[in-house]
């Protein structure tokens, strides 16, 4: 019950806190006035806006009965996110093939797969196809292996 | 009549076998690359630019232009079939296009997209043939104050893009505006929210943001919902593509509006197709009798943005070719393609290189017809993508997103951003926060601030400048009316109705 | 270039349509194959061991990183020179664009490669500004790279709207002094050579002026056309069309000598603002630690290339001068420019961050 409540109000709180942070950081730039804006004017104005919107959202949620818990689907998020993260980390270090194969293997696990063979074939085939398309034909400058 | 004679000469240059072949090559490459998520027209053109250094300037321009509008068209296919934005401008097509696919109307959606794109593009070409110099003069006469007011109207309509809570939509607009602040402030040179990361000095990459929200985020939503996009019947007959009579009625009107809007936005230097397609969608929703249909497979939600998208892409050539003032980043790269041949676009281009100017114009039309001929039969093939089991398809799409985002700036940091925005977009979507307003806020925010501050700098701090400029004044009035209408319909009337019902 | 002449030839020969179609196909295929071939060679190249001695250099393709997107002045000049270098060195020269962030992405990519002369970078006068503008760069540009040679030199042009009546620098200065609000000068983004040149102009001429920043050269041109500003300071290349078309009137150039593309236009110094000189440049750099004989070999090749009449002519068309330099000259120039722009930024209150 408490968990549901927290989840219900979390977006509103998060937005308000973000707004606060944006405004606080923004005020470190020169703010100026409406007719002679410094680089800090818009950041502060928008930050304050977001705080107000966050409060309005919070008030709105108070009037709504808490929805049944959405639950957090850990498996797809972890594997899909992990896959992209891995690609971003590996591409500059190990090169195109390792990064791409790792990402394809990772994201495949987001759904139940029937067998590792089709997954492996997909990973290798897709990587090769993508390499030919992007690197060989379109000339994206990434090494196949290594940095 | 002069224009027609010149156009005739243009066709002579554009109908040579090598011109036709290179045009076909351009639109085909553009379409296929456009279908790949993330890698949009700008990336493809940048990557292909070196090829044109070895070509005759006219052929080079025809190829790049072909890639450009081919890519614009291709990216809508991905949006409609997979709910993954092929590029930033077609992100808005996901909203209703994908819903049509889920209703088994993918064939119809692709069909109307093809036709709407053709109409939008053709109209802008006609504008270019007859009115290019006049229109370019008008477009360039818009001052900073005018830009501000136009962008303000766009922003106000943007908050209505959302399905569901207007408050949540507004939150996303503001969040988009804030994300748009990141980078170097154009007026003062101050770095904002860069946190010492040099790459952020140029701002957040639009492609990374769009792919995170409308690529990774949507794929996650699909995976979690358990409703995987799958086509039960993989046979797409010609009949299944033909829109119903009701569809056609909605089609023509929305297509016309989208075309006009797109042509206008496209002509303004610095705007680009993302603003055009998002505004067209917002406009349709605003004037629809039943706005609640949007987001649930409304055909106007597909045709208007697609017509606007293609019209703006063609109209962007008007200031580029006649004044040397490129409408957007893609145009700037294409000017680079001419520079290497010692040709600088400008007012004298039509006189000094008439065969180049009119040849390119003629090739636009040829290219658009090729797209039509190429794509109508291909619709069935594209729809077949859906017959690939989703659990094999989505890892491939995710990989393409990574590479596509990377290739824009050759930056792995951008891929990291895609990850962050993907997670963020997914989580917020689950709580009923829409992504589309965020993207538009992000695109408009910097232009809004930049032009507001520049207008006041030019007017020595006099706020009256926004009323003194006629264009600005007109747009401010429209903005005010739109806001009034929104307040009247959503709050007061709703309140009144409920009162009456309870009474 | 070779392919382009072939193309023109077969058009003039007036062959029948069918053969022309076939040849066009061949042309396209050839294009694709060159593109693929070059790329493959580049990737296999990076895998091979670094050459230790310069005697047989180069034995594999040379990569030149450009810190801008394709199509800009730096990119175009390097591509033109790259093709000639390819002929004289016997190895392909591959241009790699890594735009953005004041050249940080490009420089970092270059510093990741070996100091073997197979990965080079194009630095510009903008690099010397970034040195002050970005305070926490992940490298020290003054010691981490070594100059090979200059490639192109260019001045900026001061332009007014021909309808404004400000047809000479003197008229402009008089106007600025008589107008209580001073002059409005449009340039591209803060931290650009253009913007700092405007600030420098303001202080050297001793006039009251507001420098207004725009996002791109076309935006700046638009501002001039609709008379939003009185003066534009930008490179000749992007505004050649507007100058020829009579939309922008060049009243002075910022170089030490007149621009050969516009011999009638005086320099700023000649026209009344003494000791105001701004000259932009593009130069090729290698990683520090690259053997001297390799740098010498590259320098010699670049000197020969920039001396070629056709290169001179093509660069002139772009409004730039093709001229090589010794590494020492380049090094002095580099340090002098860092100092110069640091002073300008300090005076104009454009602090580094």
**Cβ–Cβ contacts within 10 Å for residue C336, how many?**
11
Boundary residue ending a domain (A37, A63, A89): A63
Query: Can you give the pLDDT at residue B235?
Result: 54
Query: Can you give the pLDDT at residue C37?
Result: 41
On whether both C241 and C341 belong to a single domain, the answer is no
On whether both C166 and C257 belong to a single domain, the answer is yes
Q: What is the C-alpha to C-alpha distance for residues B262 and B278, in angstroms, rounded to an integer?
A: 10
Calculate how close chain A gets to B292, using CA atoms only, in Å. Answer: 22
Query: Can you give the pLDDT at residue A73?
Result: 74
On whether both A79 and A124 belong to a single domain, the answer is yes
Q: Which domain holds residue A108?
A: 74-137
The pLDDT confidence band at residue C112, using thresholds 50, 70 and 90, is confident
Q: Is the pLDDT of residue C47 over 80?
A: no
**Pairing status of strand C119-124 against strand C62-66:** parallel
CATH code, C306: 3.40.190.150
CATH code, C238: 3.40.190.10
Mean pLDDT (whole number) for B65-72:
84
More confident: B77 or B196: B77
Is A80 within 8 Å of B398 when comparing Cβ atoms? yes
On whether both A29 and A50 belong to a single domain, the answer is yes
On whether both C274 and C291 belong to a single domain, the answer is no
On whether both C305 and C326 belong to a single domain, the answer is yes
Q: What is the C-alpha to C-alpha distance for residues B370 and B379, in angstroms, rounded to an integer?
A: 14
Is C42 within 8 Å of A136 when comparing Cβ atoms? no
Query: Can you give the pLDDT at residue C185?
Result: 93
The pLDDT confidence band at residue B163, using thresholds 50, 70 and 90, is low
On whether both C294 and C304 belong to a single domain, the answer is yes
List Cβ neighbours of A93 (8 Å cut-off, separation of 6 or more). Answer: A147
Q: With respect to residue C116, please indicate whether it lies within any of the assigned structural domains.
A: yes
More confident: C24 or B175: B175
The tens digit of pLDDT for each residue in C300-323 reads: 998 998 898 988 888 888 888 888
CA distances from A57 to A9, B429, B493, C39, C147 (A): 8, 15, 22, 53, 58
Q: With respect to residue C229, please indicate whether it lies within any of the assigned structural domains.
A: yes
Residues β-bridged to residue C235: C156
Mean pLDDT (whole number) for C41-46:
41
Boundary residue ending a domain (C239, C254, C279): C279
The pLDDT confidence band at residue B492, using thresholds 50, 70 and 90, is very low
Q: Over chain A, what is the mean pLDDT?
A: 85
Q: Is the pLDDT of residue B5 over 90?
A: no
The pLDDT confidence band at residue C34, using thresholds 50, 70 and 90, is very low
The pLDDT confidence band at residue C18, using thresholds 50, 70 and 90, is very low
Calculate how close chain B gets to C55, using CA atoms only, in Å. Answer: 31
On whether both C244 and C303 belong to a single domain, the answer is no
Find which of B339, B357, B453 to mutate to test the C interface (most C CBs within 10 Å of its CB).
B339
Residue B199 has what DSSP assignment? G
Other chains touching A, judged by 3 or more CB pairs under 8 Å: B, C
What's the distance, CA C196 to chain centroid?
16
On whether both A59 and A79 belong to a single domain, the answer is no
Give B187's contacts in chain C (Cβ within 8 Å): 190, 213
* Helix (H) or strand (E) run with residue B407 in it: helix B390-409
Q: Which domain holds residue C111?
A: 59-154+280-347
The tens digit of pLDDT for each residue in B35-67 reads: 887 666 777 777 777 777 778 888 888 888 888
Is A138 within 8 Å of B47 when comparing Cβ atoms? yes
Q: What is the C-alpha to C-alpha distance for residues B345 and B337, in angstroms, rounded to an integer?
A: 11
Number of domains composing chain A: 2
Is C40 within 8 Å of A144 when comparing Cβ atoms? no
Q: What is the C-alpha to C-alpha distance for residues B274 and B316, in angstroms, rounded to an integer?
A: 12
Q: With respect to residue A41, please indicate whether it lies within any of the assigned structural domains.
A: yes
* Helix (H) or strand (E) run with residue C157 in it: strand C145-160
Number of domains composing chain B: 1
On whether both C275 and C188 belong to a single domain, the answer is yes
Q: Which domain holds residue B216?
A: 2-502
Q: Over chain C, what is the mean pLDDT?
A: 79
**Cβ–Cβ contacts within 10 Å for residue C2, how many?**
8
Calculate how close chain B gets to C293, using CA atoms only, in Å. Answer: 31
Q: With respect to residue C88, please indicate whether it lies within any of the assigned structural domains.
A: yes
Q: With respect to residue C335, please indicate whether it lies within any of the assigned structural domains.
A: yes
Contact between C196 and C341 under an 8 Å Cβ cutoff? The reply is: yes
Percent of chain C scored above 90 by pLDDT? 16
Boundary residue ending a domain (C279, C297, C313): C279
Is A139 within 8 Å of C43 when comparing Cβ atoms? no
Is A137 within 8 Å of C42 when comparing Cβ atoms? no
Q: What is the C-alpha to C-alpha distance for residues B273 and B132, in angstroms, rounded to an integer?
A: 19
Q: With respect to residue C115, please indicate whether it lies within any of the assigned structural domains.
A: yes
Q: What is the C-alpha to C-alpha distance for residues A93 and B350, in angstroms, rounded to an integer?
A: 50
Q: Which of residues 262-291 of B touch C (CB under 8 A)?
A: 269-270
Q: Is the pLDDT of residue C44 over 50?
A: no
The tens digit of pLDDT for each residue in C201-233 reads: 998 888 888 899 888 787 888 889 888 899 999
Other chains touching C, judged by 3 or more CB pairs under 8 Å: A, B
On whether both A82 and A52 belong to a single domain, the answer is no
Q: Is the pLDDT of residue B498 over 60?
A: no
The tens digit of pLDDT for each residue in C136-195 reads: 777 888 888 899 999 999 999 999 999 988 889 999 999 988 988 789 999 988 888 888
Mean pLDDT (whole number) for B312-336:
75
The tens digit of pLDDT for each residue in B465-484 reads: 898 988 899 989 988 887 78
**Cβ–Cβ contacts within 10 Å for residue C90, how many?**
9
Q: With respect to residue C73, please indicate whether it lies within any of the assigned structural domains.
A: yes
More confident: B55 or B401: B401
On whether both C343 and C251 belong to a single domain, the answer is no
Contact between C211 and C177 under an 8 Å Cβ cutoff? The reply is: no
Is C218 within 8 Å of B55 when comparing Cβ atoms? no
Give C221's contacts in chain B (Cβ within 8 Å): 323-325
* Closest Cβ opposite residue B348 in set C70, C218, C241: C241
The pLDDT confidence band at residue B305, using thresholds 50, 70 and 90, is very high
Percent of chain B scored above 90 by pLDDT? 9
On whether both A102 and A124 belong to a single domain, the answer is yes
More confident: C95 or B175: B175
The sign of the torsion formed by the CA atoms of B74, B77, B82, B87 equals: positive
Q: Over chain B, what is the mean pLDDT?
A: 81
Calculate how close chain A gets to B390, using CA atoms only, in Å. Answer: 9
Q: Hey, is the C-beta of A28 within 8 angstroms of any chain C C-beta?
A: no
Q: Is the pLDDT of residue A99 over 90?
A: yes
Is C47 within 8 Å of A147 when comparing Cβ atoms? no
Mean pLDDT (whole number) for B401-419:
88
Q: Is the pLDDT of residue A114 over 80?
A: no
Q: Is the pLDDT of residue B444 over 60?
A: yes
Using alpha carbons, select from B115, B126, B391 the residue that is nearest to residue B251.
Answer: B115
Helices assigned H by DSSP within chain C: 2-12, 17-47, 73-89, 104-112, 125-133, 141-144, 169-178, 193-205, 217-225, 236-244, 292-307, 309-317, 327-347
Q: With respect to residue A28, please indicate whether it lies within any of the assigned structural domains.
A: yes
Per-residue tokens: C17: 């349509």
Q: Hey, is the C-beta of B201 within 8 angstroms of any chain C C-beta?
A: yes
Calculate how close chain B gets to A1, using CA atoms only, in Å. Answer: 17
Q: What is the C-alpha to C-alpha distance for residues A1 and A5, in angstroms, rounded to an integer?
A: 6
ipTM of this complex: 0.91
Q: What is the C-alpha to C-alpha distance for residues B129 and B315, in angstroms, rounded to an integer?
A: 11
Find which of B197, B331, B345, B410 to mutate to test the C interface (most C CBs within 10 Å of its CB).
B410
On whether both A30 and A53 belong to a single domain, the answer is yes
Boundary residue ending a domain (C236, C264, C279): C279
CA angle B458, B460, B466 (to 5 degrees): 65
The pLDDT confidence band at residue A115, using thresholds 50, 70 and 90, is confident
List Cβ<8 Å contacts ≥24 apart for C42-50. Answer: C42/A141, C42/C92, C42/C94, C43/A135, C43/A143, C43/A144, C45/C118, C46/A143, C46/A146, C46/C113, C47/A143, C47/A145, C47/A146, C50/C114, C50/C116, C50/C118
Q: Tell the residue number behind the tokens 């050459």, with chain if given.
A: C51
Number of domains composing chain C: 2
Q: Is the pLDDT of residue B499 over 60?
A: no
Boundary residue ending a domain (A41, A63, A85): A63
Using alpha carbons, select from B208, C104, C98 the residue that is nearest to residue A84.
Answer: B208
CA distances from C250 to B78, B216, C158, C259, C265 (A): 49, 51, 6, 11, 7
Q: Is the pLDDT of residue B380 over 50?
A: yes
Q: With respect to residue A144, please indicate whether it lies within any of the assigned structural domains.
A: no
On whether both C110 and C179 belong to a single domain, the answer is no
Per-residue tokens: B91: 């992100």
Name the residue in chain B with its Cα closest to that of A14: B428
Query: Can you give the pLDDT at residue B425?
Result: 87
Query: Can you give the pLDDT at residue B307?
Result: 93
């Amino acid at each position: 019950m408490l968990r549901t409540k927290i989840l219900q109000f979390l977006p509103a709180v998060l937005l308000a806190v973000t707004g606060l942070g944006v405004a606080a950081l923004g005020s470190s730039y020169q703010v100026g006035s409406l007719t002679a804006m410094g680089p800090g004017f818009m950041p502060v104005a928008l930050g304050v806006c977001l705080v107000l919107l966050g409060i309005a959202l919070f008030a709105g949620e108070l009037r709504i009965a808490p929805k049944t818990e959405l639950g957090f689907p850990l498996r797809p998020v972890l594997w899909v996110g992990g896959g992209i993260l891995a690609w971003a980390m590996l591409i500059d270090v190990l090169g195109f093939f390792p990064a791409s194969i790792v990402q394809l293997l990772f994201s495949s696990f987001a759904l139940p797969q029937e067998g590792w063979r089709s997954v492996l074939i997909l990973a290798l085939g897709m990587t090769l196809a993508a390499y030919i398309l992007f690197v060989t034909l379109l000339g994206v400058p990434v090494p196949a292996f290594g940095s | 009549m002069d224009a027609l004679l010149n156009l005739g000469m243009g066709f002579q240059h554009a109908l040579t076998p090598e011109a036709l072949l290179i045009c076909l090559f351009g639109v085909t490459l553009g379409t296929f690359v456009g279908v790949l998520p993330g890698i949009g027209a700008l990336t493809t053109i940048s990557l292909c630019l070196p090829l044109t250094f070895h070509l005759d300037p006219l052929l080079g321009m025809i190829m790049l232009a072909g890639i450009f509008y081919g890519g614009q068209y291709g990216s809508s296919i991905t949006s409609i079939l997979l709910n993954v934005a092929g590029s930033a401008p077609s992100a808005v097509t996901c909203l209703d296009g994908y819903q049509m696919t889920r209703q088994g109307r993918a064939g119809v959606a692709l069909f109307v997209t093809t036709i709407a794109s053709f109409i939008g593009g053709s109209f802008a070409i006609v504008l270019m043939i007859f009115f290019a110099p006049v229109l370019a003069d008008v477009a360039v006469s818009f001052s900073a104050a005018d830009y501000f007011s136009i962008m303000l109207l766009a922003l106000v309509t943007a908050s209505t893009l959302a399905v569901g809570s207007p408050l949540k939509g507004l939150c996303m607009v503001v969040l988009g505006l804030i994300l748009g602040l990141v980078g170097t402030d154009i007026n003062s040179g101050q770095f904002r929210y860069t946190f010492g990361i040099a790459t952020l000095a140029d701002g957040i990459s639009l492609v990374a943001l769009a792919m995170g929200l409308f690529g990774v985020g949507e794929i996650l939503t699909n995976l979690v919902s358990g409703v995987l996009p799958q086509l039960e019947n993989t046979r797409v007959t010609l009949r299944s593509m033909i829109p119903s009579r009701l569809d056609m009625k909605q089609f023509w009107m929305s297509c016309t509006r989208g075309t006009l809007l797109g042509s206008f936005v496209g002509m303004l230097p610095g705007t680009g197709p993302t603003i055009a397609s998002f505004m067209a969608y917002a406009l349709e929703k605003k004037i629809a009798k039943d706005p609640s249909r949007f987001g649930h497979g409304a055909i106007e939600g597909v045709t208007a943005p697609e017509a606007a998208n293609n019209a703006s892409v063609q109209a962007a050539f008007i200031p580029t070719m006649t004044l040397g003032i490129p409408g957007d980043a893609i145009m700037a790269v294409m000017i680079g393609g001419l520079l290497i041949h010692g040709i600088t676009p400008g007012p004298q281009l039509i006189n000094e290189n008439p065969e180049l100017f009119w040849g390119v114009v003629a090739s636009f039309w040829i290219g658009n017809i090729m797209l039509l001929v190429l794509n109508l039969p291909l619709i069935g093939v594209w729809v077949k993508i859906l017959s690939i089991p989703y659990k094999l398809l989505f890892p491939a799409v995710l990989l393409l997103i990574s590479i596509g985002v990377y290739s824009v700036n050759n930056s792995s940091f951008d891929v990291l951003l895609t990850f962050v925005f993907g997670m963020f977009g997914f989580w917020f979507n689950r709580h009923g926060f829409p992504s589309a307003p965020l993207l538009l806020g992000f695109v408009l925010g910097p232009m809004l601030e930049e032009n507001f501050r520049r207008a006041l700098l030019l007017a020595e701090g006099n706020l009256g400048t926004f009323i003194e400029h006629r264009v600005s004044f007109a747009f401010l009035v429209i903005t005010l009316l739109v806001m009034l209408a929104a307040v009247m319909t959503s709050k007061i009337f709703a309140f009144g109705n409920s009162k009456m019902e309870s009474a | 270039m070779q392919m382009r002449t072939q193309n023109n030839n077969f058009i003039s020969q007036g062959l029948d349509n069918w053969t022309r179609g076939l040849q066009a196909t061949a042309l396209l295929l050839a294009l694709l194959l060159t593109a693929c071939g070059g790329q493959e060679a580049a990737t296999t190249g990076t895998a091979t061991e670094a050459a230790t001695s310069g005697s047989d250099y180069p034995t594999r393709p040379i990569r030149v990183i450009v810190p801008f997107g394709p199509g800009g002045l730096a990119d175009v000049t390097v591509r033109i020179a790259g093709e000639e270098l390819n002929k004289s060195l016997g190895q392909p020269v591959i241009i790699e664009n890594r735009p953005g962030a004041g050249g940080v992405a490009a420089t970092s990519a270059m510093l990741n490669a070996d100091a073997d002369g197979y990965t080079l970078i194009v630095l510009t006068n903008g690099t010397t500004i970034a040195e002050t503008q970005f305070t926490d760069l992940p490298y020290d540009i003054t010691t981490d790279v070594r100059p090979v040679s200059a490639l192109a030199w260019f001045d900026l042009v001061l332009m007014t709207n021909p309808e404004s009546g400000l047809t000479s620098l003197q008229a402009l200065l008089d106007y600025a002094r008589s107008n209580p609000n001073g002059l409005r000068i449009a340039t591209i983004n803060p931290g650009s050579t253009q913007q700092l040149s405007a600030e420098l102009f303001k202080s050297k001429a001793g006039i009251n002026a507001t420098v207004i920043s725009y996002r791109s050269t076309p935006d700046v041109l638009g501002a001039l056309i609709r008379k939003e500003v009185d003066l534009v300071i930008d490179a000749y290349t992007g505004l050649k069309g507007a100058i020829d078309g009579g939309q922008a009137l060049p009243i002075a150039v910022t170089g030490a000598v007149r621009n050969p593309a516009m011999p009638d236009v005086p320099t700023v110094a000649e026209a009344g603002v003494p000791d105001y000189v701004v000259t932009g440049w593009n130069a090729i750099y290698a990683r520090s630690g690259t053997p001297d004989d390799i740098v010498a070999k590259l320098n010699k090749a670049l000197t020969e290339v920039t001396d070629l009449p056709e290169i001179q002519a093509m660069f002139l068309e772009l409004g730039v001068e093709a001229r090589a330099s010794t590494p020492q000259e380049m090094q002095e120039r580099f340090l002098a420019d860092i100092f110069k722009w640091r002073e300008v930024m300090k005076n104009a209150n454009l602090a580094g961050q």
